[in-house]
Homo-oligomer: A and B are copies of this chain.
Amino acid sequence: MERRRVGILGATGMVGQRFIQLLHNHPWFEITWLAASDRSAGKTYGEACKWKLDTALPATIAAMKVQPNVPELCEGELPKIIFAALDADIARELEPKFAAAGCAVISNSSAFRMVADVPLVVPEVNASHLPLIEAQSWRRESGGFIVTNPNCSAIGLVLALKPLEERFGIESLFVSTMQAVSGAGYPGVPSLDILGNVVPFIKNEEEKMQEEVGKLLGHLSGDSVAMLDAKVSAHCNRVAVEDGHTECVSIKFRKKATREEILAAWSEFAPLRGEGLPTAPEFPVEFDAAVDRPQPKLDRMRGNGMAATVGRLRECSLLDWKFVVLSHNTIRGAAGAALLNAEVLARMGKLDKLGVPTGAAQGQAVLA
């Protein structure tokens, strides 16, 4: 089978590097275009990028020429599938240009996550929201669209929450995070700020977590998403961990749940099983019964970095239950999340007619 050609916007950053790592040798996709800021454009990727992963930078990628991040300046044919790893400010400007050029923009940025007709999706949780793209004006005019995945701190959490929401209903929720430094990109957090320290603040993070959880666990209603009706309160902290966000959760359900019912909800949660998606873990939520797990160093790579680990399920003296959830923030929480979105879109046929206007009627039809 011929692989679909894909490009990466923001290819030199931490998430861009993860895209390269995960896409290299991917059975469905092939990297044919890498773009970065003006500072990098024109250099080879090997020259432009300070590679920070512990697997080797593939030689073929290192030799590729970094392109300007403008559709029109693409040398050769612009791939129609674009993975975007841009800061929000830049994403806000650039991603629409690529969508308007007929591209499927699979974005990791926060810029458009909360826009009504932009799907904010974790496939195991709400792949059903993806048809929202048909309501996008870019889609109608060029076939292009934008799909987003959530903030790295929200992804592991909603994986753990989804099976609980389905069975018991969520009424309210506390979450207190201990987030890895890679979540801030590179150079990101200065070592003087985090060695032997905790920083109990990450800009806009609590707001993002709270609102994104509501959209992810909400349901599609016409051409927008009705938010989950639950109170969510987040405390976000940065700790001296390289990769892996650990989150302490207290939760109140609408319907009483026993320990066994909760464990069953998690262990039976396998919504993508059998779909044959290369990046999907068989079980996206793994429960570890040890008293002191999950831990980022030991558990972040479960499911090739795509599974969330839950543990320490115990009763809460204030709400109903307490537990801890952990997931890899730059794989499951960023590049891997976007890649899985792309795989689901491919399965749905949404990557087949890019560059071709759908027209308004078709969009309405799909949503109806």
Inter-chain contact B190/A54, CB cutoff 8 Å? no
Query: Could you tell me the distance in whole angstroms from the C-beta of A287 to the nearest C-beta in chain B?
Result: 14
Contact across chains for A192 and B187 when beta carbons are under 8 A apart: yes
Could you list 11 further interchain pairs (A-B, Cβ under 8 angstroms) beyond the known A191-B194, A195-B240?
A187-B193, A189-B191, A195-B196, A196-B241, A196-B297, A197-B296, A200-B246, A200-B293, A210-B317, A235-B248, A237-B246
Select one of B55, B182, B191, B201 contacting A292, CB under 8 A.
B201
Binds B, one of A94-102, A158-166, A171-179, A216-224: A171-179
| 0/1 string, A1-15, CB within 8 A of B gives 1 | 000000000000010
Distance of A142 Cα from B187 Cα, bound (Å): 44
Residues of chain B with a CB closer than 8 A to A312's CB: 200-201
Q: Which of A148-156, A275-283, A318-326, A349-357 is found at the contact surface with chain B?
A: A318-326
Number of interface residues of A (CB under 8 A): 62
Asked if A38 is at the interface (CB within 8 A of a chain B CB), the reply is no
B200 touches A191 (CB 8 A): no
**Cβ contacts under 8 Å, A14 to chain B:** 192
CB neighbours of A322 from chain B (8 A): 233, 235
- B233 and A191 form a contact (CB under 8 A): no
The chain B residue with its CB closest to the CB of A231 is: B318
Q: Is the CB of B200 within 8 A of A195?
A: no
Task: Tell me the A residues contacting B by CB distance below 8 Å.
Answer: 14, 52-56, 172-174, 176, 178, 181-182, 186-201, 210, 231-233, 235, 237, 239-242, 246, 248, 250, 291-302, 311-312, 316-319, 322, 324
Q: When chains A and B are docked, how far (Å) is the Cα of A190 from the Cα of B194?
A: 10
